[in-house]
Structure 1
Amino acid sequence: MSTLDNTSLQLPKENPQAEDFLPLLGTDYVELYVGNAKQAAHYYMSAWGFQPLAYAGLETGLKDRVSYVLEQGKIRLILTSPLKPGGEINKHIDSHGDGVKAIALWVDDARHSFNETVKRGAEAYFEPKTLQDGEGEVVLSGIHTYGETVHVFVERKNYKGVFMPGFKAWKPYYQPTNVGLKYVDHMVGNVGWNEMNKWCEFYAKVMGFAQLVSFDDKDISTEYTALMSKVMSNGNGRIKFPINEPADGRKKSQIEEYIEFYNGAGVQHMALATDNIIETVSSLRDRGIEFLTVPASYYEDVLDRVGEIDEDLVPLSELGILIDRDDEGYLLQIFTKPILDRPTMFIEIIQRKGAKSFGKGNFKALFEAIEREQESRGTL
């Protein structure tokens, strides 16, 4: 049974400027195209604490692909690999390496969502289709967004099965404990030079989003590199998409490095929320996840900047967790090193203690840490 519920239907509007005509109820799943789904599933289970949920492949009648569905809290990942040469999935992996193909959005009416976005200028990925089995039906539709990334609208109000028709329950003996991840806080896209405003306008016009905040190269810059970013959000605030583009700097920025190795625009990172970042990050580190580190000097005056916090600073500094505050509270965040062979996608762990911002006060320390990694790779 889905862990998603219908409480979001009554959510107050967090972003009053958003039209929210779809509306979106949450992130349904994130699908990654990967070279070896079986091994990738083991990684996300063992290292990240995801639980096995569903499977589709030869045993369920699929001939061209295999998919493993993992779940933790309200986060669902689909890991999909091709079973034969040629075709869309192989082409995607060859061009981009492992990466996010689909950000699926939970809606009440997938046909309405498709029609409303396409009439406003979205390019169709696939038209509405209904999948059925003995547990009910799921309606899907899809549109293109930046690069080869797509949005799939998922309507599942008439389905009671484990995931969706075509999948069977996956219950292996190995089911590791979770690490306390709760939901997708936001997902960040990297786009090319001077493309940020184009895609922000896409989300505003086509999907009814509104801009929450923007950062220019004065906000996000170091001695060597810079970037620009705007955060787009739907009305209830459950879907937040920061969009980054490069800005002029003395050396190659992280956005340029990403686009070079991903071979175009794509999802840079997923931010996953937790209620106890110290426990979550400690568990992840024990399981082999590597995080970016900041100098010890960061913690010497951080409380002067952010004020009093509930947590003890010692474990935060030992783990390298960053702290920032806005008018509504503070947040704790940390970023992994790239989790793939190519220096492309990474994951952010975030705990919000009232703050609705994105860690502006940490940008300089964070991007200097990223630059140290770039320098070690010879790509700065």
Structure 2
Amino acid sequence: MKIDGIDHAEFYVGDAQQWAFYLCTVFGFRLAGQAGPETGLTGQRSLLLRQGGTRVLLTSALTPDHPAAEYVRRHGDGVATLAFEVSDAQQAYETVIERGAVSVEKPVVHSRCGTKVVTASVLGFGDVAHRFVQRTGDGDEFLPGLMDMFTDDPEQAEPLISVVDHAAVCLPAGQLDETVSFYEEVFGFSQIFEEFIEVGEQAMNSKVVQSPSGKITFTLIEPVTDRRPGQIDDFLTRHGGAGVQHLALLTDDIVSTVGALEDRGLTFLSTPGSYYDELKRRLGRTDVGMEDLRRTNVLVDSDHWGQVFQIFTRSMHVRQTYFWEVIDRHGARTFGSGNIKALYEAVEREGADV
């Protein structure tokens, strides 16, 4: 079984058109396709957004018995599927089922005018599924026969982001190790990083798993129960169980990207000046100038291979659960310890201001 990367992320949302307007206006995504009853996709409305190599599928239920309706009722708007690009969806599906995965949808073939897409889905964590996607033919077709595609705008701006770098997942206490084992044994991922994080009187455990290709990375987090309940507990309560806390979007110039996104109205979490006062002592020279980092509130850390620059948006979610990250890697393959703690300290400050 060969898993190449993230094919797309599907969000179940109450209003796909509203989400599409926000992501296109603020993040620079473009509307690439649409599907619904008029295209043969019954019970739902789906809009496909693209930017660089990132595809986001927004799905809203049109009937109360559609899975998206129940998902939104339980969790609010959020990531329902993280789809994996594979060379053989049937074989990938059969392999993970033999290894203990729970089926969501058996393999289905979608075809039109020489383009074929095979999909199959299994359950991942919580109510989040993984969809195997095998594509042959026209790469611009997303779901041939069921989705109408739009022509590219010849004057569209250069993309600010390229691909989904990683997904951060909140898990109930006691599920971290079994979830790591699940991805290792069923999908062939490997654990590449782990950390115990303390923020004030609360604490959490974090482990990172990654696909053999290195193109799919999940940061898995669980709260520590003998400490004061904190933001991970808040997420689990408001979301109604395990789920994706944020997706990280990769850019190659985080300072310019943050400036462009702020000009469009996106608001990021702030970072205290003391963080940058300590940065030179902690890291020494940084690839991005200190004044640019301080001005944009971008965090920086390092691993054995290089530096990683990160910043996190304020949550626009009504339940204050889901948010986004922008990340820029200068050789770094994992995550520095300081940035993870700095993120959760920033979320704590935001919560205190609400």
Q: Which residue of 1 aligns with 2:194?
A: 214
Q: Structure 1: which 5+ runs fail to align? A: 1-21
When structure 1 is superposed on structure 2, of 153-162 and 280-289 the one drifting more is 153-162
Counterparts in 2 of 1:53 and 1:253: CA distance versus 1, 3 Å: same
Q: Which residue of 1 aligns with 2:319?
A: 342
In 1, Cα distance between equivalents of 2:268 and 2:335: 18
| Alignment partner of 1:270 is 2:250 | no
| Alignment partner of 1:288 is 2:265 | yes
Residue type matched to 2:236 in 1? I
| Alignment partner of 1:321 is 2:312 | no
Q: Which residue of 2 aligns with 1:364?
A: 341
In 2, Cα distance between equivalents of 1:372 and 1:69: 34
Counterparts in 2 of 1:287 and 1:58: CA distance versus 1, 3 Å: same
| Alignment partner of 1:70 is 2:49 | yes
Q: Which residue of 2 aligns with 1:31?
A: 10
Q: Which residue of 2 aligns with 1:188?
A: 168
Q: Which residue of 1 aligns with 2:204?
A: 227
Normalised TM-score (structure 2): 0.95
Residue type matched to 2:193 in 1? V
Counterparts in 2 of 1:175 and 1:100: CA distance versus 1, 3 Å: farther
In 1, Cα distance between equivalents of 2:38 and 2:150: 12
**1:85: Cα distance to partner?**
2.7
- The C-alpha deviation readout for 1:149-183, integer Å capped at 9, x for no partner, is 00000000245452221111135989863551011
Q: Which residue of 2 aligns with 1:253?
A: 230
- SS of 2:136's equivalent in the other structure is coil
Q: Which residue of 2 aligns with 1:201?
A: 181
In 1, Cα distance between equivalents of 2:155 and 2:29: 8
- SS of 2:311's equivalent in the other structure is strand
Q: Which residue of 1 aligns with 2:86?
A: 107
In 1, Cα distance between equivalents of 2:142 and 2:65: 27
Q: Which residue of 2 aligns with 1:126?
A: 105
In 2, Cα distance between equivalents of 1:135 and 1:314: 53
Q: Which residue of 2 aligns with 1:7?
A: none
In 2, Cα distance between equivalents of 1:283 and 1:114: 41
Is the 8 Å Cα contact of residues 52 and 171 (structure 1) preserved in structure 2? Answer: no
Q: Which residue of 1 aligns with 2:58?
A: 79
Counterparts in 2 of 1:309 and 1:205: CA distance versus 1, 3 Å: same
**1:375: Cα distance to partner?**
2.6
Is the 8 Å Cα contact of residues 48 and 179 (structure 1) preserved in structure 2? Answer: no
Residue type matched to 2:44 in 1? R
In 2, Cα distance between equivalents of 1:364 and 1:327: 19
Normalised TM-score (structure 1): 0.89
Identical residues among aligned pairs (%): 36
**1:335: Cα distance to partner?**
0.8
In 2, Cα distance between equivalents of 1:112 and 1:307: 48
**1:310: Cα distance to partner?**
2.8
**1:132: Cα distance to partner?**
1.3
Is the 8 Å Cα contact of residues 44 and 66 (structure 2) preserved in structure 1? Answer: no
RMSD, aligned α-carbons: 1.8
Which of 289, 306, 309 is the matching residue for 2:286? 309
When structure 1 is superposed on structure 2, of 242-251 and 342-351 the one drifting more is 242-251
Counterparts in 2 of 1:242 and 1:273: CA distance versus 1, 3 Å: same
When structure 1 is superposed on structure 2, of 172-181 and 92-101 the one drifting more is 172-181
Alignment of 1:54-65 (within 5 A): 54-65=33-44
Which of 140, 150, 157 is the matching residue for 1:170? 150
| Alignment partner of 1:238 is 2:218 | no
Specify which structure has the bigger relative contact order, considering alpha-carbon pairs within 8 angstroms and separated by 6 or more residues. 1
Residue type matched to 1:90 in 2? A
When structure 1 is superposed on structure 2, of 167-176 and 196-205 the one drifting more is 167-176
When structure 1 is superposed on structure 2, of 56-65 and 204-213 the one drifting more is 56-65
- The C-alpha deviation readout for 1:183-208, integer Å capped at 9, x for no partner, is 11111111101100111000010011
| Alignment partner of 1:97 is 2:76 | yes
- The C-alpha deviation readout for 1:30-87, integer Å capped at 9, x for no partner, is 0000111011111110011011211111331333111110111111000011122333
**1:222: Cα distance to partner?**
1.6
Is the 8 Å Cα contact of residues 50 and 178 (structure 1) preserved in structure 2? Answer: no
Residue type matched to 1:187 in 2? A
